[in-house]
Chains A and B, each alone.
Chain A
Amino acid sequence: MKRILVAEDNRLILETVAHSLSREGYDIIKAEDGKDCLTKLETNEVDLLITDLYMPNVNGLEVISKLNSNYKSLMPIMVLSAAGAEESVLKAFDMGADDYMVKPFSLIELNVRVKRLLASKK
């Protein structure tokens, strides 16, 4: 079973995304901020990271940059953010994100993108 770590400070989004992905058969780990996300990344084997950009303690971009510098991981990263401006999107991709979804988003689209990202890992 593929394991996905979802890092999001809005509890409703976190629960909804987790609920939706677990129905698709994924094992979900939830993190409520960037710090929590980094801790869980250290202790768990994760196949995909879905992260928000603006989170307390450590923001999404910092998570991505630490992940790339410390773990040298090939794990795909998807960003979920309300910031739809071109600069934000480009910055996230530049830091190492593989996909970017702007809020409000569709859960069906999210599931499709997750499937594609996990398939590309293979």
Chain B
Amino acid sequence: MGCIKFTPVKLITSCYVLLCFLCFLLPTQNGQAAALCTATSNSPQEISTFASDSIALNQSSDSNTETEIPATDAEVNRSKPQRNSVLGVFFSTDKISRIKKNLISYGNDHFPRGVRSFYISVVENAFQFSIIFLLVTLSLFFIINILLVFIILNYTIRKKSYKEKFEKVYSKMYEEVLLSYLFGSIDWETAFLKLRGRNKPKNRRILTSVLMNFNTNFKGEFESLIPEIYTRLGLQHDSMRLARSGYNHKKVAGIIELTHLYPEGAKGIIDKLINDPSDYVRAEAQTAYVKLNPETPFNFFYQLEQPFAMWTQLSVFNLIRVHQLPVPSFAQFLTIRHPNIRNFSLRMITFFQQLENVPDILKMVDSKLDKTRFLTYKAINNLRLYDSRDLIKNRFENETEKNKLEIIRALRNIGTEDDFGFLEIIMTNGTMSLKTEACRSMYFMSPKSRERLLEINNQSNDELKLLIAHVTDPRN
């Protein structure tokens, strides 16, 4: 399984070792090492001897190394009650008191008055305790945290592994029973009895997942049988509860289950979720709407208050293509106020070559949005709307660079001799990308336009010659 197993014995042993370690390190209130107190064999005399020895050792070592401390200070410190610990062997009380003084003087010099008193009280309080006590507390806190992490990790892994095992066992059992029923080996009554634990919520989730697996992978004879089993077991109520849940992931799961296994019940719920504030829920509800309403798959556009997300547009488009759903005339949605619906409709008009309601498409060149106008020029190009040449040429001057390029591209396919002059002006005055595109359009428009281009080539300047050479080069 790969996880650390804590048996009670191991846990108790670890705790005991930890406690022993802490007891050894913990100082007593009056400065004596706790280790000496916990050592049962030691007498109070021995303890005081050890403590005074350690103080003497500190002081002698300090006097050797810290020569700058005046001798009088050392005497004063010696006369004061000492707060020693095991670490006292390494840190002298002089040094500690000097740190304290430095901290206080730093506070006095640098902190504003309001904070100063608080800061000093914190320093004073901190130095009430032996440094070893603080270190031990921190170490203890750290060790407890690590232990807690291990315990929680261990618990989580065990729980997850149990859940996986539970799901594996039950899904295998349910699959076998349902297969026997679907292939006619057993009748429904027997199958129903064999579906053990079917009333428990966890088991019902497994049953739904098995049925979903059947539904997404098989069609034909199973198509009607699977939803029937789903409703016989009353699993639609669970899915409806999920779809009404406050959690978005549950709502999404509920929508998917209902769409696949209980379409008639799904419709009512999905209508309400089409304008859900969550992008995920909304996207799933909108895709479900398209699937559940093959006659009017996009009528939800009229009730849409939230944006029609790009991801949903892709999902819906994929759904239409995969399931070969009948598509409506998208020109009817060009009047909807949501720009992303209008843009989607223009894309669909282009893709499905919907030539009805051309005037509605052409109206879109007046849109305030660059993107919508761009898609309109693209539609004009792809649908080969020859009569709209003058319209797009008139719009050219005030368009963005991207849209200008699209207009020139459109002229490549719908342009005539009348448009040569227009393109020639661009080839002379436009930006480099416009010049290149105009040159390309001219070259590919017709044999006549190509001839004209070669004529220009003979007359024109070097830059234009280079452009023509670039466009006519088959490698480009």
Contacts and interface: CB of A to CB of B under 8 A. Distances in A.
A84 B221 contact: no
Given A10-B213, A12-B210, A12-B213, A107 B218 contact: yes
A42 to B, nearest CB: 28
Contact of A106 (B183, B215, B218): B218
Contacts of A106: 218-221
B214 interface: yes
Contacts of B221: 106-108
A104 B219 contact: yes
The residue in B172, B214, B219 that gathers the most chain A C-beta atoms within 10 A of its C-beta is B219
A: contact size bracket? 10 to 19
A84 B322 contact: yes
A19 interface: yes
Contacts of A103: 216-217
Given A20-B183, A84-B322, A15 B175 contact: yes
Interface string B152-178: 000000000000000000001001100
The residue in B215, B218, B219, B220 that gathers the most chain A C-beta atoms within 10 A of its C-beta is B218
Nearest to B168: A11
Contacts of B322: 84
A108 B217 contact: no
B222 interface: yes
A12 to B, nearest CB: 5
A17 to B, nearest CB: 10
Nearest to A103: B217
A116 interface: no
B172 to A, nearest CB: 8
Contacts of A10: 213, 217
Main SS class of interface, A: helix
A105 B219 CA distance: 5
A107 B222 contact: yes
B179 interface: yes
Interface string B205-227: 00000100111111111100000
Contacts of A87: none
A13 B332 CA distance: 43
Contact of B218 (A11, A23, A105): A105
A104 B214 CA distance: 9
Interface in A32-59: none
B216 A104 contact: yes
A109 B210 CA distance: 22
A15 B179 contact: yes
Nearest to B220: A106
A67 to B, nearest CB: 24
Nearest to B172: A11
Contacts of B213: 10, 12
A20 B175 CA distance: 14
Nearest to A80: B217
Contacts of B217: 10, 12-13, 16, 103-105
Contacts of A11: 172, 175
A46 to B, nearest CB: 23
A109 B175 CA distance: 22
A10 B209 CA distance: 13
Nearest to B222: A107
Nearest to A20: B183
Nearest to B179: A19
Contacts of B179: 15-16, 19
A104 B218 contact: yes
A109 B220 contact: yes
A13 B214 CA distance: 8
A12 B183 contact: no
Nearest to B216: A104
Contacts of A84: 322
A109 B222 CA distance: 13
Contacts of A19: 179, 183
Interface string A105-118: 11111000000000
Contacts of A20: 183
Interface string A3-21: 0000000111101100110
A106 B125 CA distance: 79
Contacts of B210: 12
Nearest to A108: B220
A15 B172 CA distance: 10
A10 B210 CA distance: 11
19 contacts: A10-B213, A11-B175, A12-B210, A12-B213, A15-B176, A16-B214, A19-B179, A103-B216, A103-B217, A104-B216, A104-B217, A104-B218, A105-B219, A106-B219, A106-B220, A107-B220, A107-B222, A108-B220, A109-B220
Interface of A: 10-13, 15-16, 19-20, 23, 84, 103-109
Q: Which 9 A-B pairs have the closest CB atoms?
A: A106-B220, A104-B219, A12-B213, A103-B217, A106-B219, A104-B217, A13-B217, A104-B218, A12-B175
